[in-house]
Copies of this chain bind each other. A is one copy, B any other.
Amino acid sequence: MVTIADIAREAGVSRATVSLALNGKPGVAPETRRRVLEIAERLNYQPNASAKGLALQKTQTIGVIVPDISSPFYAELVRGVEEEAGKHDYHLILCTTAGKRAREAAYLRLLGERRVDGMILATPRGQEEAIHRFREARFPLAIVDRDIPSADEIIEVVVDNLQGALTAVEYLLDLGYRRIGFINGLPDLQASRDRLRGYQLALRERGIVPDKHWICVGDYQEKGGYRCMQRLLKVKPPLEAVFVASDLMAMGAIRAIRKAGKDVPGDIAVVGFDDIPLSEFFNPPLTTVRQPIARMGAIACRLLLQEIRGETILERKVTLRTELVVRASTPSAEKGGDKQGK
């Protein structure tokens, strides 16, 4: 592997000069610089990132920790991060934890050893004290899709889950439904708790007291949605609609509904959450609360890089708005109007 010393020898100058020349620093004669560059090119010189990292105490790398890269939500999130990072010549070390606390802790440690310049964390709960250690060490950290209470210094990018859930359920109410079920994700995510609150709030606003049997806790996966829906189908009198805390679970719910010989949205209307790439193409296309997933990743990354560069950041807490996307898993407005008319 060709090093700076090789170039120095070839060019008949010192290593210091080569370094200065290659990095465009002042104090090198134009002719010398030209020659060094030309030789570097010819020898196909590739600066050793480890050496550079050691000397500069900077690795041009950020660590990303997610539960599972094969989940569409996290895949999309990572895509957003990666695109933004790439623009700034930063690399990603990808860590997936499979939801295991132990792996989370191990990766947190490993990324520390790697001396990554910053980290993006998108895992549910856990590692609170690790997070506070980082904060105290003024280590750049961004948290996505999760509220970590009382830590002003930490970058946080979330979506307004309460508002999103509220809007979704209000939409169902406007369509004339009153018996509306809710399939939630695991309650160790702040997002789940907020969506639950939004659901409850919307119903209460209209004077509806949700029965606790209308609510089921899933796992954000397809199967959880399927299982929950099977439970909710037993509710008497039957539910008219369900709000589901993730699109993956909404797909499972729809599968369960059809398996029971019922129609979506004819018998039961379904609203999901996330708007993962496939929701648009699902059958039926999902009415859902869109989160700007990739954008959340990109914003977290951008803020993190600003923090790394030591730029001043006006606001470390970013809350993005959701948007209700109406497709075919809920009846079209006219039909809803009919229903309301009854």
The digit string for A170-184, where 1 denotes a CB below 8 A from any CB of B, is 000000000000000
Q: Which residue from chain B places its CB closest to the CB of A54 in the assembled complex? A: B50
Interface residues of A in 37-55 (CB under 8 A from B): 46-51, 53-54
Interface residues of A in 96-153 (CB under 8 A from B): 96, 103, 109-110, 112-115
Q: How many copies of this chain sit in the oligomeric assembly?
A: 2
Let me know if A219 is at the binding interface, CB within 8 A.
no
Interface residues of A in 17-58 (CB under 8 A from B): 46-51, 53-54
Task: Decide: B70 and A115 in contact? CB cutoff 8 A.
Answer: no
The digit string for A78-89, where 1 denotes a CB below 8 A from any CB of B, is 110011001000
Query: Cβ of A71: which chain B residues have Cβ within 8 Å of it?
Result: 75
How far is A252 from B281 in the complex, measured between Cα atoms in Å?
Answer: 7
Let me know if A186 is at the binding interface, CB within 8 A.
no
Task: Decide: A54 and B46 in contact? CB cutoff 8 A.
Answer: no
Q: Which residue from chain B places its CB closest to the CB of A109 in the assembled complex? A: B46
Q: Which residue from chain B places its CB closest to the CB of A56 in the assembled complex? A: B50
Task: Decide: B91 and A110 in contact? CB cutoff 8 A.
Answer: yes
Q: How far is the CB of A249 from chain B (nearest CB, A)?
A: 11
How far is A54 from B93 in the complex, measured between Cα atoms in Å?
Answer: 19
Query: Cβ of A112: which chain B residues have Cβ within 8 Å of it?
Result: 46
Query: Cβ of A69: which chain B residues have Cβ within 8 Å of it?
Result: 69, 75, 78-79, 82
Q: How far is the CB of A306 from chain B (nearest CB, A)?
A: 22
Q: Which residue from chain B places its CB closest to the CB of A68 in the assembled complex? A: B79
Let me know if A251 is at the binding interface, CB within 8 A.
yes
Q: Which residues of A contact B (CB under 8 A)?
A: 1, 46-51, 53-54, 59, 61, 68-72, 75-76, 78-79, 82-83, 86, 91-96, 103, 109-110, 112-115, 222, 226, 251-252, 254-255, 258, 277-278, 281-283, 294
Apart from the given pairs A75-B75, A258-B283, A282-B282, 7 other A-B contacts in the complex at a CB distance below 8 Å = A46-B112, A47-B113, A70-B78, A92-B93, A93-B93, A94-B94, A251-B281
- List 10 tightest A-B contacts by C-beta distance, closest first: A50-B53, A50-B54, A94-B94, A70-B79, A75-B75, A283-B283, A70-B75, A49-B114, A46-B113, A222-B281
